[in-house]
Chain A
Amino acid sequence: MKTKESNIVTAGYLRRQRRYLLVSFILLLITLLLAALMMTYGKTIYSPATVIRVLLGEQIQGASFTIRTLRLPRMLAAVLCGLAFGMAGSTFQKLLGNPLASPDIIGVTSGASAAAVLGILVLGLRGSTVSLLSMASGILVSGLIFALSQNGVFSSGKLILIGIGMQAFLNAAVSWMLLRASEYDVPAALRWLSGSLNGVSMESIPGLAAAVLVAGGAVLILNRHLMILTLGDAYAATLGVQVRRIRLLLILFSLLLVSFAVSVTGPVASVAFLSGPIASRITGESQGNVAASALTGSVLVLASDLIGQFALPVRYPVGVITGILGAPYLLFLLLQMNRKGENVL
């Protein structure tokens, strides 16, 4: 009897772990599938064979330009910024113990975005200088939000409210700069207000890829520590987690991910906010789900961009589509928390 019961414990744990791995693997397959679709589908449809030949370096009239210069950077940016937003969003939500606490809701992405606009349109900067500037601004804005919410008793609710206010302010700043800058045009405005993959060039990909590799890898490695942190600081400390150091590292790496992604694609709306909760739902939340959240982010961006480009009568940038997905979930979340009698904030 005793051993039979004991087996149940381990068997259940392993079953949930297998489900997590299976779902993550399926998400990976969907990501690859959508990425392949993005390479082949468009105004002209190229066969997979053509795409592969072009990618291997063969020159094909017409196809080479479309595939190598337009579609490849777009697809890579979609995958990478999806991974970055997905990981950073779920890390913030877990650290602060609130699904509303994702970087796109609390103004961190807007901070990065405002700096990117300032750098590109006002100061005339390009490339990784812009990424670094937007990261510095992301750190500054989050530091400011944390500092303001420390006033009196800290609560994640206060942090979220201050963050939402910060976001409104920063978005106003972005709009103002866009209006003032001589290069003002609608696509650029949309990129910096809600995120877009239009006009992403191959030059911006290596920096973003390196950031995702380094910071994303670090967040993955620290995922087990993050799981312990969700039990509360007291438990984490008694289980041997160095609470302050680990939390600081997780915040910095998440900011790095967000800032690099924002400097390439703009603050693609709601991806950071949605990825973690969706990944939790479909994996069953037995393990830390940072890898699943990252892949969910990529699937969201790829699918939304394909919908925005081809499924509707007018072409919309990806951020408009993801924004439309995010809004009802935000409402649902608020209603559900209200029903449970929880204080949302």
Chain B
Amino acid sequence: MNNHVLAAAGVTAGYNSRPVIREVDLTIPHNKINVIIGANGCGKSTLLKTFSRLIRPSGGQIMLNGKAVSSLPAKQAAQIMGLLPQSPTVPDGIKVADLVARGRFPYRRLLKSMTTEDFKAVEEAMDIMGISALADNSVDELSGGQRQRVWIALALAQQTDILLLDEPTTFLDISYQVEILDLLTDLNRRRGTTIVMVLHDINLSSRYADYLFAMRDGSLMACGTPQEIITPQLIKDTYGLDCIVMEDPVSASPFIIPMGRHHS
């Protein structure tokens, strides 16, 4: 279990001084699975990138345990908070274990080789993701689902208490989506890792999330447990979509059924 508190305090951020999110105030509940939802372009990814220090806020601060994250040394922040970006680059011909081992970078001393502790972290991360048997394979040769597990293993080897993931299930077929979300749930339950992720699928989000953050036009619309906030009105407000909300027969979480011009 960890007690790192991540929060945004009046954060305005965007690209080239054009703000995408405006004065966002929110606190991420620790030890929980948090999912940010919202329509394309609403600022979900920007919020996540601002949390992970990829974008510097033009107003406000990202706070970690009450201190501005920008005041922390980069490597120290990297030991607390990790990010799985949307489209990382696979270096040519790299082997799975070697890629996962790069997650140890924030812990390594200049010119020192990997310690026993480093190796243990890599082994454990690959074990959790079920990719130990692929250790000597080239990452280029893996399927999309396997490759995503490798990237998550890299983030796990980083051993951070907070893990941010930008659409970790995009481009995966439905069985891999469920598998990745199950693995992340295991991680949260076993290690108490605080998970913050952007997801597109509202139904999977409300099934797996402890807390949901719904965004529209760069602002936070609603936050709370899926049961509290998923209503036809919220979906209408955030996505402009009419829908019916039912109970997911498997997980008892809210389940939306969209309507359209031809079906209502």
Contact = CB atoms under 8 A, between A and B. Distances in A.
Contacts of A13: 97-98, 101, 114, 119, 122, 135
B95 A12 contact: yes
Interface of B: 49, 52-54, 74-79, 81-83, 85-89, 91-95, 97-98, 101-103, 105-106, 108, 110-111, 113-114, 119, 122-124, 126-127, 132-133, 135-136, 158, 164
Contact of A238 (B78, B93, B94, B101): B78
Nearest to A230: B91
B137 to A, nearest CB: 10
A10 B111 contact: no
Given A224-B108, A230-B89, A9 B83 contact: no
Given A5-B133, A232-B88, A239-B103, A10 B93 contact: no
A9 B126 contact: yes
B101 A285 contact: no
B74 A6 contact: no
A8 B89 contact: no
Interface residues of A, number: 31
Interface in A234-257: 234-235, 237-242
A231 B132 contact: no
Contacts of B132: 5-6, 8-9
Contacts of B123: 6, 9-10
Interface string A1-40: 0100110111011001100000000000000000000000
B121 to A, nearest CB: 11
Contacts of B103: 239
B135 A285 contact: no
A241 B98 contact: no
A227 interface: yes
Given A9-B123, A231-B102, A286-B98, A237 B91 contact: no
Contacts of B105: 224, 228, 239-241
Contacts of A240: 74-79, 105-106
Contact of B119 (A2, A10, A97, A241): A10
Given A13-B114, A228-B105, A242-B74, A280 B92 contact: yes
A93 B261 CA distance: 52
Contacts of B77: 240
A10 B118 CA distance: 10
Given A2-B127, A234-B83, A239-B102, A9 B74 contact: no
A221 interface: yes
Nearest to B79: A240
A68 B182 CA distance: 71
Contacts of B88: 231-232, 234-235
A224 B89 CA distance: 16
B83 A8 contact: no
Q: Which 6 A-B pairs have the closest CB atoms?
A: A240-B78, A234-B85, A240-B75, A238-B83, A6-B123, A5-B132
A280 B81 CA distance: 32
A280 B110 CA distance: 23
A241 B83 CA distance: 13
Interface centre among A9, A231, A242 (most CB of B within 10 A): A9
B135 A9 contact: yes
Given A231-B102, A237-B52, A10 B74 contact: no
A54 B88 CA distance: 56
Contacts of B53: 237-238
B106 A239 contact: yes
A23 to B, nearest CB: 15
